[in-house]
Structure 1
Amino acid sequence: MSTEKQFGIVVYGATGYTGRLVCEYLNKQYGVNGEVNWAMAGRSLDKLAQVRDEMQIPHTVPLVVADANNIDSLKDMLESTQVVLTTVGPYQKYGSDLVRLCSEIGTDYVDLCGEPAWMHEMIRAHALTAKASGARIVFSCGFDSVPFDLGVHFLQKHAIDKLGKALPRVKGRVRAMKGTFSGGTLESFRLTMKAAAKNPELIKVLTNPFSLSDSFTGPQQPSGMKPIFEEDLNSWSAPFVMATINTKNIHRSNFLLDHQYGEDFVYDEMMLTGAGEKGEAMANMVAEDKSMANDPMKPGEGPSKESRETGFYDVLFVGSNDNGDTLIASVKGDKDPGYGSTCKMISESAVCLLKNLDIAGGGIWTPASAMGTLLIERLTENAGLTFQLEG
């Protein structure tokens, strides 16, 4: 893979809701000192120029015209950059050609994908091509699945240091969260459900926690689909909407890390709702919530700046083994998880790849397996995330 590209990072989808936030972050964090050579890309030059002015981004930041429906424009964009950061989703609708071209050309790639059926398809179709070209393709570099994927990685690294071995059982539990979905996230969800209704084979992919782990199949995993009371946490736990994608990515990380967490690794993800009757009632309410399917929000829409700034999340990871050893870690973020924090996570993922050419070879990766501790350090230093041991 050549390092002599015109741009270090190109933000593809720069005029969209999340793309604007990414550009705002890159400009604030890296635009002044020129540490990162980045550009804005989208379908319309006029719209790109308008957004650049609205965001008060200097005219020294270049504009690149690229359209998902114009393969030549995508090729030109990818041949000019080392890392493409794409916010153009749903990825099952707009992303397949981009992944294919990155795999062929050797351009690094990061996205915000939470669409496991599409990811399964891309891995099967392009992983070997990416490996040959040197393209490092990293899916799910936003709230799904960075805090969870890296949270487990962080916990297991400390388990190996303290106990000499990873912990075979880890619970991921959302302890607190304030944030909302955008229209793009909801559209991805709706398209996935429609595709599964038409193709029963996709249901197998969506329900299999190891569907992104190539041919590997590990032990039976908890479903996480019904409220449960957990005595060790003294709390009811409810289904967590993002568990479907996060668990698959974490098992893929384990697979790509040569089963660093063990071939017997068991992981599930839920949301803590508290103890007693109130906690039980809340857990049941969460389990019965169907608001994502009926939300009227459209692509391009999302939470207000005030909502993004006042949002936060706090995720607990509890690891254990049969010897009675327990280790507890947490990951916290200082902004709305889906957007205020996500724009920082994907930006730092792109910068991490840009600045560390030797951390992974070509292939289709997860954040933990490709960047691990280096990304944790960047997120802690720059992006308002906190990783810590609690016990």
Structure 2
Amino acid sequence: MAETREFEVIVYGATGYTGRLVAEYISQNYAGDLRWAMAGRSADKLAAVRDEIGAPADTPLVVADADDPQSIADMVARTRCVATTVGPYQLYGEPLIAACAAAGTDYVDLCGEPAWMRQMIDRYGDQAKESGARIVFSCGFDSIPFDLGVWFLQQAAKEEFGEPSKRIKGRVRAMQGTFSGGTAASLKATMAAAARDPEVVKLLLNPFSLTPGFQGADQPPGNTVDYEADLDSWVAPFIMAAINTRNVHRTNFLLGHPYGEDFVYDEMVLTGPGDGGEAAARAVAGDNSLGSDDGPKPGEGPSKEERESGFYDVLFVAEGEDGQRVTVGVTGDKDPGYGSTSKMIAESAICLVRDVPDAPGGILTPGAVMAAPLIERLEANAGLTFKRES
């Protein structure tokens, strides 16, 4: 990609709740060091947000609208990477994907919509390879802590076992914070799409929906309540597993199956031992609030204090052939859906542009294109930790 483009990163959707947080993070941490701009549908709203977040008065503003393809094309031609928070992506995302794939412009988003992602892979994957565009979905809480957590653990497994583990568990130990309104809207849009199209249902049910032409080993169902003796805890379904597990398998696929073609991975929530743990697990399993009309709305979100007090802690367990185990913990210091996610997508965009500029194009995952340098960035700048525990 030409080094002479006007911007390194454009934040598209900067007047939305999450986009504003991304712009604020970049302004506070990279002002004067990064050539960046804020983009959205309204110049007046962009200027107001720029002033509200304390960004420099000369921060460039770019007017672009998904309903105006020429404005999208003009925007992507000016930058090396677009970081977009404009979702649900299945409703608003394709024009930007098409423009980036055509122009050789890098792209990062917060997508957790696997059926739409597969459709974009089929439609634009080859063009992105040809143009050199690195299109990277799921650069927030879904799915960076999980995709990179598995990658990080596999490096430890190779040291301990002499080879990667064929079986890894992801277990959420603790989490405080809310899922984003965008996540809730994406879930509703996905369910509506499934009701219209049986092919969408097939993609949603297939753990290998993001690995075209490859179908791996049977995977755990992930929708049960059970007791795991090795962890002395009951486990419950984890709502983000539907996207995270597919991204992990896609990373393995894109890297040439270093985890093995028979790799097995699942994610659950740990709720503790005993009767209390079982009751908590059943309560988690029965919680449908994210998809209800009372759930968070796009553009809405928690207060700064709520974001600052949030956190998450995920355990990853690798099993060896002889009963050996290696464990890794991944933590984040802000609420997952907003505070941590906004930092992760910003660092992903900068990592693509600055740390892996020569990586080939295509529709990729964080783990496949920038695992080690992104982990380094996230630990240095974004409040995440990746630590081997045993």
- TM-score bracket, shorter-length normalisation: over 0.9
Match of 1:369 in 2: 368
Question: Distance in 1 between the 2:344 and 2:356 partners?
Answer: 19
Question: Distance in 1 between the 2:10 and 2:357 partners?
Answer: 20
Paired residues of 1:119 and 1:212 also in contact (CA < 8 A): yes
Compute the displacement of 1:272 (Å).
0.2
Contiguous gaps of at least 5 residues in structure 1: none
Compute the displacement of 1:210 (Å).
0.5
Letter in 2 for 1:43: R
**What is the percentage of aligned positions where both structures have the same residue?**
61
Match of 1:20 in 2: 20
Query: How far does the alpha carbon of each residue in 1:85-134 deviate from its partner, in whole angstroms, 9 at most, with x for none?
Result: 00000000000010011001100000000000110100011000000000
Letter in 1 for 2:106: D
Contiguous gaps of at least 5 residues in structure 2: none
Distance 1:359 1:155, change over 3 A: farther
Compute the displacement of 1:359 (Å).
5.1
Within the candidate set 91, 96, 99, 1:98 is matched to 96
Question: Distance in 2 between the 1:260 and 1:35 partners?
Answer: 36
Query: How far does the alpha carbon of each residue in 1:287-327 deviate from its partner, in whole angstroms, 9 at most, with x for none?
Result: 11111121433211111111100000000000002222211
Question: Distance in 2 between the 1:271 and 1:357 partners?
Answer: 34
Note if 1:378 corresponds to 2:381. Answer: no
Compute the displacement of 1:182 (Å).
2.6
Match of 2:208 in 1: 210
Question: Distance in 2 between the 1:18 and 1:335 partners?
Answer: 14
Question: Distance in 1 between the 2:388 and 2:257 partners?
Answer: 22
Question: Distance in 2 between the 1:142 and 1:332 partners?
Answer: 13
Distance 1:144 1:131, change over 3 A: same
Within the candidate set 141, 145, 170, 1:143 is matched to 141
Query: How far does the alpha carbon of each residue in 1:118-168 deviate from its partner, in whole angstroms, 9 at most, with x for none?
Result: 101000110000000000000000000000000000000121233221000
Paired residues of 2:161 and 2:320 also in contact (CA < 8 A): no
Alignment: residue pair count: 389
TM-score, length-scaled by structure 2: 0.98
Letter in 2 for 1:92: Q
Paired residues of 1:24 and 1:57 also in contact (CA < 8 A): yes
Question: Distance in 1 between the 2:306 and 2:221 partners?
Answer: 32
Deviates more, 1:149-158 or 1:291-300: 291-300
Match of 2:306 in 1: 307
Report the secondary structure of 1:371's partner residue: helix
Question: Distance in 2 between the 1:173 and 1:258 partners?
Answer: 26
Report the secondary structure of 1:316's partner residue: strand
1:26-175 pair list within 5 angstroms = 26-31=26-31, 34-175=32-173
Match of 2:249 in 1: 251
Question: Distance in 1 between the 2:160 and 2:281 partners?
Answer: 34
Match of 1:283 in 2: 281
Question: Distance in 2 between the 1:359 and 1:387 partners?
Answer: 26
Compute the displacement of 1:356 (Å).
2.5
Compute the displacement of 1:357 (Å).
4.1
Paired residues of 1:181 and 1:303 also in contact (CA < 8 A): no
Paired residues of 2:356 and 2:370 also in contact (CA < 8 A): no
Question: Distance in 1 between the 2:289 and 2:213 partners?
Answer: 35
TM-score, length-scaled by structure 1: 0.98
